Amino acid sequence: MIRLALILIAIALASSVGQCGEVYVERDASGRPVALVHNGPSAELVNFLKDNADSLQTVETVRLLQHNVDADEIDSLSKLKSLRNLELGDHPDEVEIASEALSKIAALPGIEQLSVFATGKEENFGWLDSLPMLRSLTLSSDKLYSKEIFPQIGRLHDLESLSIRCSFPVEDFRWLGALTNLEHIDIHAKVIRTGDISALADLKELKSLAISGHALSNKQVMAISKQIGQRLDFLSICVDGDCTIEALSGFYNLNKLVVQHAGTSDRRQRVVDTNFVLAIPGSK
C-alpha cells in the first residue's frame, strides 16, 4: 500500500519535463526532483535520462517496476550522481532481471540501499563488493541466487540491514559473523537449520530479528535466545507446536514480539498469552 501511494503521488507531481510515458518524477516540498519511478520499456528511461539528466541531479531514489530490467537501463542510471537508493521490481514473481543488468550496478558506487525483487538465474553477486556505501540490502526471490550468495554477503562489513527471501536451506549463520554493524536481519526460507549460530553473538548492534517460512523448534528458539536474546528489541518468528514460554523468556528486552504458529497465516496468533508478552520488561 505504501509503495502504491508513492507511485500515485509521483503521478500527481510529475511535471511536463519530469514525465515521459511511464517515467514519473517525485518532487519534495520545494519542487526539487528526489525520485524516479519507471514502469515501461527500457529505452524509454534511457532516452529520458539522456535528455533530462542535468535537471535530475538531486534524485536520490529510483524504482524500476517494469517486467524486464536490462543492462542499458541500469547503465543509464550512472548519470544520476546523487543516486543512493535503488529498487528493482516490486514482486519477485513478476519482474525479470538479466544477469548483465545486475552486474552493471557495480558502476553505481554511491548506492546505500539496494532492493532486488525479481526472478532470474544469477548466482554470482561478487559485484556487491563494488558498493562501498551499501548499508541496506534486500534480496527477495526464489530463483535469483543460490546458497553461494551467503559468503558473498558476508564480505559486506558495513551492512546495517539485511533482508533475504530464498527457497534453499539456510544451514547456519556463520556467514553473518563478520557483519558486526547489522542492526536488522529478516530471513525467509523454507528450511532453516540453525546449526552453528555462535556467529550471532558477534552482532553487538543487532536489535531486530525476523525469521519466517520455517517453523523453529523449542531448541532452536532457546539457542537463539542464549546468543542474542537480551539485546533484541524486536523479534518475529514462526514456531512449531513444542515452543514453550521458557524458550521465549530469554528475550526480556523486547518492545515487540510476534510469534506465528506453523500452518497458520495469522501473525497475531501467539504461542504464549498476551499477559506473558506484556510481562517482558520494556515490552509494549
Report how far residue 175's alpha carbon sits from residue 231's, in angstroms, rounded to the nearest whole number: 20
The label of the residue with cell 554511491 reads: 110
pTM for the complete prediction? 0.82
Length of the chain: 284
**68 lies in which domain range?**
1-119
User: In the prediction, which pLDDT does 279 show?
Assistant: 42
The label of the residue with cell 520494556 reads: 282
User: In the prediction, which pLDDT does 266 show?
Assistant: 47
User: In the prediction, which pLDDT does 121 show?
Assistant: 60
Q: Does any domain span residue 132? A: no
Residue that terminates a domain, selected from 119, 154, 178: 119
| Residue 205 grid cell | 548492534
Q: Provide the CATH number for the domain around residue 278.
A: 3.80.10.10
User: In the prediction, which pLDDT does 57 show?
Assistant: 96
Instruction: Give pLDDT < 50 ranges for the chain.
Output: 1-2, 4-18, 265-284
User: In the prediction, which pLDDT does 46 show?
Assistant: 93
Closest CA to 166 of 199, 198, 190: 190
User: In the prediction, which pLDDT does 142 show?
Assistant: 62
User: In the prediction, which pLDDT does 262 show?
Assistant: 66
User: In the prediction, which pLDDT does 213 show?
Assistant: 81
User: In the prediction, which pLDDT does 34 show?
Assistant: 97
Residue that terminates a domain, selected from 78, 101, 119: 119
Q: Provide the CATH number for the domain around residue 22.
A: 3.40.140
User: In the prediction, which pLDDT does 263 show?
Assistant: 57
Task: Give the number of domains in the chain.
Answer: 2
H helices of 57-103, in order, are: 71-76, 99-103
Each residue of 225-240: pLDDT tens digit? 888 988 999 999 888 7
